[in-house]
C-alpha cells in the first residue's frame, strides 16, 4: 500500500525538495504552505494522484483545523508528518532585535509545530507512523544573532526527544533533523527579502542543498521499522565551529 506523507513548508527549499523526493520514491504527499500558486505548480508537475495540496498559514490554528477537516477520505491516513515549515527573522543581537520577529518565529517554529503535531498524533499512533521535525545546528551551537531562532530549534529538538519518550511502545518513530547551512530561501526571508545578502552568504561556501536534506529524510523514513534515528546533525564540509569569545576591559 502506498504511504502518505504530510509535509509543511512545501512551497520552497527543503520542503519542496522533500515533496519531489518522496513522490519520486512512490509516496503520496500532502503538500502545505501559504503560497497556493507554488503548491498548484507542484501538483501540476507531479500529478494530483501523488500530491494533494492544502494552502494555509500553519500558525493560524483555525485555518489548520479547517484544512484538515476538508481532507478527502483517501488522503486522511497519514503515515509520516514532516514538520518543516519554519523561519528565522533577523540577524541582530537580542538587545537590538525586533520583538515582533521573535513572536513570529515562536508562533511558527514552536507553537504551530506543536499544535499540528497534537492534531495528527492520534492518527500517527493508530498507524504506527513517524514524525520528522526540522530543527537546526542552531539548536546546539549558539551564534550572535541566533538568539530566539536557536531557542525555537532547541525546543524542536527537545520536543522530538520528549515525543520519543511519550510514544514509548507505540511503534511511532520520531527524528530531529538538525542541518547547518542549506541554500534555500531561508536567508532571503531572514534578511527581509535581500537576494544580495543570500547570495553573499552562500557564495563560495558549497552549502548543502535542499535535495541533500530531502534525501536524508527519505532515508530516515524508509529505514527498517525497528530503527529510530533520534537526532541527525548535518553540515556542509565548509562549515564548522568557532571558539568562545572573551570581552576584555
- The nearer residue to ligand NDP, 74 or 81, going by C-beta atoms, is 81
**154 interacts with ligand NDP by CB under 6 A:** no
**How far apart are CB 145 and ligand NDP at their closest, in Å?**
14
**How far apart are CB 246 and ligand 8X3 at their closest, in Å?**
22
Joined together, the cell numbers standing for residue 22 give 518522496
Total Cβ atoms within 10 A of residue 1: 5
**How far apart are CB 239 and ligand 8X3 at their closest, in Å?**
7
Joined together, the cell numbers standing for residue 117 give 503535531
- The nearer residue to ligand 8X3, 129 or 150, going by C-beta atoms, is 150
**15 interacts with ligand NDP by CB under 6 A:** yes
Give the span between the Cα atoms of 131 and 121, in whole angstroms: 9
**How far apart are CB 135 and ligand NDP at their closest, in Å?**
7
Q: Which residue is nearest to ligand 8X3 (CB)?
A: 136
Whether the CA torsion 139, 141, 143, 147 is positive or negative: it is positive
x-marked contacts with ligand NDP along 169-208 as a string, rule CB under 6 A: ----------x-xx-xxx--x-------------------
Q: Are 30 and 56 in contact (CB under 8 A)?
A: no
Q: What's the start-to-end Cα distance of the chain, in Å?
A: 67
**92 interacts with ligand NDP by CB under 6 A:** no
Examine the residue annotation and report whether 143 is marked as an active-site residue of this protein: no
Q: Which residues of the chain form contacts with ligand 8X3 (CB under 6 A)?
A: 136-138, 146, 180-181
Give the span between the Cα atoms of 183 and 205, in whole angstroms: 10
Give the span between the Cα atoms of 83 and 121, in whole angstroms: 12
Total Cβ atoms within 10 A of residue 44: 11
Site of grid cell 492518527: 123
List residues with catalytic annotation. 149
Interface residue list for ligand NDP (CB under 6 A): 9-15, 33-35, 57-59, 84-87, 108, 134, 136, 179, 181-182, 184-186, 189, 210
Amino acid at each position: 500500500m502506498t504511504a502518505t506523507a504530510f509535509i509543511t513548508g512545501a512551497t520552497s527549499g527543503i520542503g519542496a525538495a522533500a515533496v519531489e523526493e518522496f513522490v519520486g520514491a512512490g509516496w503520496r504527499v500532502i503538500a502545505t504552505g501559504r503560497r497556493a500558486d507554488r503548491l498548484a505548480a507542484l501538483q501540476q508537475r507531479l500529478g494530483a494522484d501523488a500530491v494533494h495540496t492544502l494552502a494555509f498559514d500553519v500558525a493560524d490554528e483555525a485555518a489548520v483545523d479547517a484544512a484538515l477537516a476538508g481532507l478527502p477520505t483517501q488522503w486522511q491516513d497519514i503515515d509520516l508528518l514532516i514538520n518543516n515549515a519554519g523561519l528565522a527573522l533577523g540577524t541582530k543581537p537580542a538587545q537590538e532585535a525586533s520583538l515582533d520577529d521573535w513572536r513570529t518565529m515562536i508562533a511558527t517554529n514552536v507553537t504551530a509545530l506543536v499544535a499540528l503535531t497534537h492534531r495528527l498524533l492520534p492518527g500517527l499512533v493508530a498507524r504506527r507512523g513517524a514524525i520528522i521535525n526540522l530543527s537546526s545546528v542552531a539548536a546546539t551551537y549558539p551564534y550572535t544573532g541566533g538568539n530566539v531562532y536557536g531557542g525555537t530549534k532547541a525546543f524542536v529538538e527537545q520536543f522530538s526527544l520528549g515525543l520519543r519518550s511519550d510514544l514509548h511502545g507505540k511503534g511511532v518513530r520520531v527524528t530531529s533533523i538538525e542541518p547547518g547551512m542549506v541554500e534555500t530561501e531561508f536567508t532571503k526571508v531572514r534578511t527581509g527579502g535581500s537576494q544580495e545578502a543570500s547570495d553573499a552568504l552562500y557564495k563560495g561556501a558549497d552549502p548543502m542543498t535542499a535535495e541533500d536534506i530531502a534525501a536524508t529524510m527519505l532515508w530516515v523514513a524508509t529505514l527498517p521499522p525497528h530503527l529510530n534515528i533520534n537526532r541527525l546533525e548535518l553540515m556542509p564540509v565548509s562549515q564548522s565551529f568557532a571558539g568562545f569569545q572573551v570581552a576584555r576591559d
